[in-house]
């Protein structure tokens, strides 16, 4: 995205959210919702408009795991890494997922599956849990993970 296009995009977001008290998070969320990520080039522009430092904006973006610097794939699989899910085998599922997809955390496969860790989905009684394209899935073992990924492939070929 060109800097002029990014600036115009931010103009629209600031018109809607710039007057809020504490607008940084809503602005970042809106930008990511629109573009699928928060481009690094946007950080100094946001800082200038909010009269805060670039470091402050970068600190917020880097602190919250949901903000991305690059767009995610067509499908996003978030695997719970919290203790309750770990007690139910989440580490084994995570190892399997990374091997099966051939990617590590925060990476995207060539066919568009992004794998991300998440720390607690609130589905502790049904762990290991995952968030698959925004839908919570419980009792995810290696076989269920493979079924989920095979479902992505089936949608592509259908």
Question: What's the pLDDT tens digit per position in 138-147?
Answer: 999 999 999 9
Res 79: pLDDT? 98
Which pLDDT tens digit goes with each residue over 56-99? 999 999 999 889 999 999 999 999 999 999 999 999 999 999 99
**What is d(CA 156, CA 86) in angstroms, rounded to the nearest whole number?**
32
pTM to 2 decimals? 0.80
Tell me: pLDDT of 149 over 70. Answer: yes
Provide the pLDDT confidence category of residue 1 given band limits of 50, 70 and 90: confident
Mean pLDDT of 11-21: 96
More confident residue, 158 or 81: 81
Tell me: pLDDT of 136 over 60. Answer: yes
Mean pLDDT of 102-111: 95
Least-confidence region, from 2-11, 92-101, 122-131: 2-11
**Cα 73 to the center of its chain, rounded Å:** 10
Tell me: pLDDT of 38 over 90. Answer: yes
**What is d(CA 76, CA 36) in angstroms, rounded to the nearest whole number?**
12
Res 154: pLDDT? 76
pLDDT, the chain, mean: 94
Res 55: pLDDT? 97
Mean pLDDT of 40-48: 96
């Amino acid at each position: 995205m060109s800097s002029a296009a990014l600036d115009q995009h931010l103009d629209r977001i600031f018109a809607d959210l710039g007057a809020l008290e504490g607008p940084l998070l809503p602005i970042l969320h809106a930008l990511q919702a629109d573009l699928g990520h928060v481009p690094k080039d946007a950080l100094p522009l946001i800082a200038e408009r909010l009269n805060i430092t670039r470091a402050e904006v970068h600190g917020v973006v880097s602190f919250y795991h949901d903000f991305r610097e690059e767009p995610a794939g067509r499908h996003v699989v978030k695997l719970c890494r919290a203790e309750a899910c770990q007690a139910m085998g989440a580490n084994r599922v995570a190892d399997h997922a990374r091997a099966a997809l051939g990617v590590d955390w925060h990476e995207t496969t060539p066919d568009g599956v992004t794998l991300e860790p998440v720390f607690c989905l609130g589905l502790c009684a049904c762990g290991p849990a995952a968030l698959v394209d925004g839908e919570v899935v419980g009792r995810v073992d290696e076989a269920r993970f493979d079924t989920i990924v095979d479902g992505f492939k089936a949608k592509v070929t259908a």
